Amino acid sequence: MRKKIVAGNWKMNLTLAQGEQLVNDIVAAGIQLSEGQEVVIAPPFPYLTKVKQLTKNYPGIFVAAQNCASEKSGAYTGEVAADMLQSIGVDYVILGHSERREYFQESNAQLAKKIDQALAAGIKPIFCCGEPLEVRKAETQNAFVAQQLQESLFHLDAAALKNIVIAYEPIWAIGTGLTASAQQAQDMHAFIRAQIAEKYGREAALGLTILYGGSAKPSNAPELFACPDVDGGLIGGASLVAADFTAIVKSF
């Protein structure tokens, strides 16, 4: 049975004090996780150690970084290596987020290197993929996402793939006023799973966790999570409000 995950991506938000309060409010909500369900919290780099400390006594709650370097070590000022993240107990790392792709021009090839660094350090990547508005309008989203998968993940063997989580982000539905329907989410998740099945086999595809990352919130999470190929969410804005985030988790 594949894992069900709700991951909260804080992005570049909150002071340390605000972040501590948010985590305390989340754990105080008394979330009851069933077997195979996880909560992942992805704060900014400076808060990783503190969030790890605050959640260490709560089984099922894990910590993610929002990025890692494509190189192992060296003269890369401002970068953070996967080994550094592993040394402080980071469990997951978000890679290929649409904002990293857009603002920092991260390529599929660069992301393949980041994937390798994370896996070598024993950290599980949450690999983001998804299409912008012009691609969706042209109805070429399947080919676009397939290329992202092929160029960033398909160099891995089946054993390595078991440590990957995929997050589908319809970029056109984030901050645009447009909304992806549950059916649109399901269609793309099913397509991604079919791509994995074609490359790695049906068993690997059925075991892969695929999250939805397009403005999920308490009001639409139950419908999204009810889709057969949607295994949870990568949550942005709603992860900064404890009541909203815990309501999404409880949508399981």
**Residue 175: per-residue pLDDT:** 67
* Tens digits of residue pLDDT in 28-85: 998 999 999 999 999 999 999 999 999 999 999 999 999 999 999 999 999 999 999 9
- The catalytically annotated residue of 99, 106, 131, 169 is 169
- Can you say which residues are annotated as belonging to the binding site for substrate? 9-11, 175, 215, 236-237
Collect the ranges in the chain with pLDDT lower than 70: 175, 177
- The neighbouring-strand residues paired with 4 are 37
- The catalytically annotated residue of 97, 106, 131, 189 is 97
Give burial (CB, 10 Å; 0-12/13-18/19+) of 103.
exposed
Please give the DSSP secondary-structure letter assigned to residue 201. -
Whether 97 sits among the annotated catalytic residues: the reply is yes
- Can you say which residues are annotated as belonging to the binding site? 9-11, 175, 215, 236-237
Reduced to 3 states (helix: H, G, I; strand: E, B; else coil), residue 252 is: coil
Whole-number Å distance between alpha carbons of 39 and 32: 11
**Residue 173: per-residue pLDDT:** 84
Whole-number Å distance between alpha carbons of 101 and 119: 20
Whether 169 sits among the annotated catalytic residues: the reply is yes
**Residue 252: per-residue pLDDT:** 85
**Residue 214: per-residue pLDDT:** 82
The domains of the chain, with CATH numbers, are 4-27+36-249 (3.20.20.70)
